Amino acid sequence: MKIVRDLPSLRAARAELGPLALVPTMGALHAGHLSLIAAARREAPRVAASIFVNPLQFGPQEDLSRYPRDEAGDLAQLEAAGCDLAWLPSVEVMYPPGRATTIEVLGPSEGWEGAARPGHFRGVATVCAKLFSQTGATVAVFGEKDWQQYQVIRRMVADLDLPVRIVGGTTVREADGLAMSSRNRFLDPAARALAPRLHRAMQAAAAAMLAGTAPATALAEARQSLTAAGFGVDYLALVEAETLRETDKAPGRLIAAAKLGTVRLLDNIAVGAG
Ligand SMILES: Nc1ncnc2c1ncn2[C@@H]1O[C@H](COP(=O)(O)OP(=O)(O)OP(=O)(O)O)[C@@H](O)[C@H]1O
Ligand SMILES: CC(C)(CO)[C@@H](O)C(=O)[O-]
Ligand code: BAL
């Protein structure tokens, strides 16, 4: 596996390797990321992964400084997973002084994570556009776990005619249903024990909706049971899968963000064909 940290080395590696599928990450890799590497290997002859904790997508009160980092462990996992190229730009390489361009995707970025984290999707879209352009990837793989992000990137690529195909990877879960996430390591044992209830409550709400319960009723019940269990529910909503607009009938995507202590969990599932 080639490890590159500056643009001239990336360009040379790209020329040598040929068509690439890219998996953008912020590191602290887990089995969810590795499933995206495996998906990428099915999409193109060579696979690149980027590791970059993107300051532009973190608000001033957010956890940029304590975001988990483990470069040596990440590189070992990428190598073992059959990754051909690791792109590890520094903040200075990604954002040299004088930078004046950002990308703003409206539509699917409005609401939910976009409302909870103002400016977040501007940072995500900007860095992803740069990663696509830097690597020249023909395919990029994103986890469905961050459903809204996945739709924002699809929208951006369609709107800007970017020459990259976006592929989604299904959410990898722990045995008890908790969606894997780098931030799960911050759950204390009591919170870790409660955490799978989020997915269970979502599954119950989805099953109720498919059995004919009005979404508003099913969602209110799920919210109430989660709040009683100790979750701070930020949102739990049925939305149109691509636009992220709230809807009152399935099919759709059930999306949620809920806090346990200081850890914010995200999850989503399809309801019907959503
Ligand atoms: N459990 C998972 N299953 C599949 N893909 C995942 C999973 N968790 C993250 N991903 C995907 O991996 C890519 C990189 O995500 P990132 O590095 O932010 O990891 P993360 O675990 O989501 O971290 P965070 O704690 O910030 O949510 C994204 O496309 C994300 O959707
Ligand atoms: C796509 C991404 C790597 C952009 O920084 C990040 O938002 C993430 O890890 O999901
Ligand atoms: N997986 C989304 C990256 C973030 O939380 O900033």
pLDDT along the chain (274 residues), means of 10: 98 97 98 98 98 97 93 98 98 97 98 98 99 98 98 99 98 98 96 98 98 97 98 98 97 98 97 85
Question: Residue 190: which of 267, 263, 268, 266 has the closest Cα?
Answer: 263
Residue owning tokens 């300051």: 55
Which atom belonging to ligand 1 lies closest to the Cα atom of 179?
1
- Provide the residue type at 10 as one letter: L
- 17, 84 contact by CB (below 8 A): yes
Task: Choose, from 13, 21, 23, 33, the residue flagged as catalytic.
Answer: 33
Tell me if 221 is assigned to a ligand binding site.
no
Question: Residue 167: which of 27, 24, 269, 17 has the closest Cα?
Answer: 24
Vertex 203: Cα angle to 200 and 208 (nearest 5): 125
Give ipTM to 2 decimals: 0.97
Tell me if 259 is assigned to a ligand binding site.
no
Q: What is the pLDDT of residue 273?
A: 82
Question: Closest residue (by CA) to atom 21 of ligand 1?
Answer: 181
Instruction: For residues 21 and 81, give the distance between their C-alpha atoms in angstroms, rounded to a whole number.
Output: 14
What single DSSP character describes residue 171? P
Q: What is the pLDDT of residue 63?
A: 87
Ligand 3 mean position, distance from CA 15 (Å):
30
Question: Domains plus CATH for the chain?
Answer: 2-169 (3.40.50.620), 182-268 (3.30.1300.10)
Contacts for 8 with CB less than 8 Å, ≥ 6 apart: none
Q: What is the pLDDT of residue 202?
A: 98
Q: Is 33 a residue of the active site?
A: yes
Instruction: For residues 77 and 64, give the distance between their C-alpha atoms in angstroms, rounded to a whole number.
Output: 23
Long-range CB pairs of 37-43, under 8 A, 24+ apart, other chains included: 37/78, 37/81, 37/82, 37/83, 38/81, 39/141, 39/167, 39/169, 40/139, 40/141, 40/167, 41/82, 43/139, 43/141, 43/165, 43/167
